[in-house]
Chain A
Amino acid sequence: GAGVSQSPSNKVTEKGKDVELRCDPISGHTALYWYRQRLGQGLEFLIYFQGNSAPDKSGLPSDRFSAERTGESVSTLTIQRTQQEDSAVYLCASSLITGGGWVEQFFGPGTRLTVL
């Protein structure tokens, strides 16, 4: 069956440009998560969606970062006026339910963003 997919797999952009990263979760998964991973480091939580709503946006690093989700399906993470410090792998994960106990998060392959 299809897993979580992300596009593009690699993105190289110039400083100051806007980028959009896309995540297609597993069909039927109500929760969707975005993480950022800088080179050689662990994952940093950015934001999660419960359905189409994002109850907690406190993990977003700055107001240049935004995310949306539509149809309880695809999500886009937008970074405006990119900076070199935004260079990282952006990982998306989805899970079937949220809260009330553990459910496994299934991760996509990530988008490697390089800001020149």
Chain B
Amino acid sequence: SQQGEEDPQALSIQEGENATMNCSYKTSINNLQWYRQNSGRGLVHLILIRSNEREKHSGRLRVTLDTSKKSSSLLITASRAADTASYFCATDAREDAGNMLTFGGGTRLMVKP
């Protein structure tokens, strides 16, 4: 079953604009991760934020985490056409199950040139 829910399900913006995607989850977590997927195939890890962190940056990416609200957001600044992809949040909650990830439904981002 999917723990996370993401909104919006789809987002269309112009190149240069910022894109914000949100993720909510249900249980306590060890960390939350964001992945990118092109064309419905392999996933690429973008960024991880631990449960004791509130904000993290990586290049044009900014992730926030609010454990009291069980939510996270991914901000992509100065978007480019090449950022067009699906973005998924994934939570790592079970210490006894390797690093089993529970994924949200994803946000499909389209960046128009």
Contact = CB atoms under 8 A, between A and B. Distances in A.
Contacts of B33: 102
B59 interface: no
B: interface residue count bin: 20 to 34
B65 to A, nearest CB: 14
B34 interface: no
B99 A105 contact: yes
Given A89-B40, A105-B45, A110-B41, A55 B106 contact: no
A56 B97 contact: yes
B101 to A, nearest CB: 7
Contacts of B45: 104-106
Given A42-B88, A48-B98, A107-B44, A102 B30 contact: yes
Given A37-B40, A106-B45, 17 more contacts: A4-B42, A31-B99, A33-B98, A41-B106, A43-B88, A44-B103, A45-B100, A91-B43, A98-B99, A99-B96, A99-B98, A102-B31, A104-B48, A108-B42, A109-B41, A110-B41, A110-B42
A42 B103 contact: yes
B103 A43 contact: yes
Contacts of A110: 40-42
Q: Of residues B44, B50, B92, B101, which shows the largest number of chain A Cβ atoms within 10 Å of its Cβ?
A: B101
Contact of A89 (B2, B41, B90): B41
Interface string A81-116: 000000001010101001110111111111000000
A4 B44 CA distance: 12
11 contacts: A33-B98, A42-B104, A42-B105, A43-B88, A45-B100, A45-B102, A99-B99, A102-B33, A103-B99, A109-B41, A110-B42
- Please give me the 10 A-B residue pairs with the lowest Cβ-Cβ distance, nearest first: A98-B98, A42-B103, A43-B103, A107-B43, A109-B42, A42-B105, A107-B42, A48-B98, A109-B41, A110-B41
B2 A42 contact: yes
Interface in A21-39: 31, 33, 35, 37, 39
